[in-house]
Amino acid sequence: MTKTRSLKSSLLFTLIYLLIPLATFSALLYIFWPGLMSPDSNYSYQMAVGEEPLNAVIPVPYLLVLRALLKIWKDPAILTIFGFATLSTAYAFCLFVLDRIGTNRILLALAAAIFAASPNNEILAITIWKDIPYTASILMCTGLLIYIVSHYHKGVIVKSLKVKIAIYLEVFFLVLCWAFRYNGMVVTIGGMLALLLLLRKQNLLTVVLPVALSGVLLSGFIIYWLPSAVKAQPDNYQYTARYMVRQVMGADLKDGALSVENSKKLWGIFDKKVVKNNFLLYDFSPVLWTEKVWERFDSNPKYAETVKQIYFDTLTKQPFVMLENAFYSSNVVWGVRKPQNFSPNDIASPDNVVYPIDNTSSFRDRLLNYFYDSQKSLPFMVFWRNGIWLILSFLICLVLLAKLRFKKLVVFLPVLLSVGSCLIAITCEYRYVWPMFVLMPILLLFSLKCSKMYPRG
């Protein structure tokens, strides 16, 4: 067990860690009022206000949260505020836990400043997306795991009310990962198994079984009972199939990596001209949302099998090309004045400029240039590249593996499971793997601290 700073002292400094991102994101919301949106955001908003029936294509628990917030204030700004407030609070909570175990406070304040100043964080934090509460949930899972493993003593978790509460809160936030994003199922199930493994030396009847049962019951209630209770339409969208198609299209149009035979098969299914009109070199997303692209594909279930064959054949022969496509960032961010005024044509221009419709402020123009340039200039490009952070996280894990036992590495598990699920489902757009970038300062500080804090063995 680690020595801790006083609660009062840590809370005081945590207020500073919290105010840094809160002040930054609040200022950005004021400038880009009422926040940024994507087609996903607009559809979620329409369902939340009752203009469209609830559809499980967007996770229903997330939609119910939006609906509850809009009953308080029917303005999309409340959704933006909820997003960045929960995100900032979750990040500050991780810093609070690190503060309690004695991490250098200058480094903690620097982590808060980096979090607030990163251009990708600034854009995504004021976007009405399910990715925001999802990332906040992963942050809370990570912070709680740091707290739990720091209370190990001779292989057993210290028995105290605070630790017990932390364990059940861990279960709650693991389930929320699944509630807010479908690939969060991997985080929930994998995280629960890891938590139970941590508790393996605890009493089976009084600790292990109640924790396992609470996870099962909570998942059943939030994931399965809630959607049926509000009579949401089932999710019939073929996520994995469409993302695999998109990756194959990218491999052919961008890299020419498909064989002649596979290329003929692909364009025998899809209209190449229509696809090229909706395909951006560094962002494949418009292909997903243009229904004209998918008319023939949706008419024949055999086409999905054909594309899977093309995908795996290309993956076998050109693995690095397909991996590069999987890591391509979806950097485009859409902006609107009000969600109900959104049009599918109100998207960013092909050169990936962040492009709000209401563009009247000169200061806003300068900010937009900052966001835009950050995606091109070498010093800032690191903020937008997924693979760099994934590789770094694995390197940290390897270093810790040489010195520490499993119970320390489990802290990395939620975000690694999240990224892994994206790679498996071929959905590695930037906002999907964004939690990895957000958490890197936390994971790095924890690894530096625990390498000194824990003995080997």
Residue 67 clears pLDDT 50, i.e. is over it: yes
Are 167 and 285 in a shared domain? no
Residue 168 clears pLDDT 90, i.e. is over it: yes
Are 155 and 222 in a shared domain? yes
Are 251 and 229 in a shared domain? no
342 pLDDT tier (thresholds 50, 70, 90) = very low
Which of these three, 288, 312, 327, is where a domain ends?
327
Residue 51 lies in a domain: yes
Which of these three, 306, 327, 348, is where a domain ends?
327
pLDDT per residue as tens digits for the range 202-227: 778 888 899 999 999 999 999 999 99
396 or 8: which leads in pLDDT: 8
Residue 79 lies in a domain: yes
Spatial distance between the Cα atoms of 136 and 117, rounded to a whole number of angstroms = 18
Are 81 and 219 in a shared domain? yes
Encoded tokens for 425: 């489902």
Residue 411 lies in a domain: no
Alpha carbon separation from 49 to 45, 72, 228 (Å, rounded): 6, 12, 19
430 pLDDT tier (thresholds 50, 70, 90) = low
Which has the minimum average pLDDT: 277-281, 339-343, 399-403? 339-343
Residue 201 lies in a domain: yes
CA angle 18, 87, 376 (to 5 degrees): 100
Residue 35 lies in a domain: yes
Nearest one of 414, 326, 330 to 134, comparing CA atoms: 414
256 pLDDT tier (thresholds 50, 70, 90) = confident
Predicted TM-score (pTM) of this structure? 0.83
Instruction: Write down the mean pLDDT value for the chain.
Output: 80
Of the ranges 130-139, 244-253, 268-277, 402-411, which is most confident? 130-139
Which has the minimum average pLDDT: 52-56, 88-92, 327-331? 327-331
DSSP per position, 405-446 = -HHHHGGGHHHHHHHHHHHHTT---HHHHHHHHHHHHHHHHH
Residue 81 clears pLDDT 70, i.e. is over it: yes
- Residue 202, domain extent: 7-234+381-402+427-449
Are 214 and 184 in a shared domain? yes
pLDDT per residue as tens digits for the range 21-37: 999 999 988 888 888 87
Are 141 and 194 in a shared domain? yes
Averaged pLDDT, 142-170: 84
Which of these three, 310, 327, 344, is where a domain ends?
327
Residue 304 lies in a domain: yes
Q: Specify the pLDDT at position 433.
A: 78
Query: Do 119 and 74 meet the contact criterion of CB atoms below 8 Å apart?
Result: no
Of the ranges 270-274, 361-365, 424-428, which is most confident? 270-274
Bridge partners for 153 per DSSP: 156
Are 94 and 225 in a shared domain? yes
Spatial distance between the Cα atoms of 34 and 26, rounded to a whole number of angstroms = 11
Q: Which helix (H) or strand (E) holds 287?
A: helix 285-289
345 pLDDT tier (thresholds 50, 70, 90) = very low
Are 306 and 172 in a shared domain? no
pLDDT per residue as tens digits for the range 300-338: 888 888 988 998 999 888 888 877 766 554 444 434 333
Q: Specify the pLDDT at position 192.
A: 95
Q: Specify the pLDDT at position 105.
A: 93
Q: Which helix (H) or strand (E) holds 335?
A: strand 334-335
Are 116 and 260 in a shared domain? no
Residue 407 lies in a domain: no
Spatial distance between the Cα atoms of 334 and 399, rounded to a whole number of angstroms = 40
pLDDT per residue as tens digits for the range 96-120: 999 998 899 999 999 999 999 888 8
1 pLDDT tier (thresholds 50, 70, 90) = very low
pLDDT per residue as tens digits for the range 413-425: 898 888 878 766 5
Averaged pLDDT, 254-283: 84
Are 73 and 186 in a shared domain? yes
Residue 20 clears pLDDT 60, i.e. is over it: yes
Are 218 and 249 in a shared domain? no
87 pLDDT tier (thresholds 50, 70, 90) = very high
**Number of domains into which the chain is organized:** 2
Are 249 and 170 in a shared domain? no
404 or 13: which leads in pLDDT: 13
Residue 357 lies in a domain: no
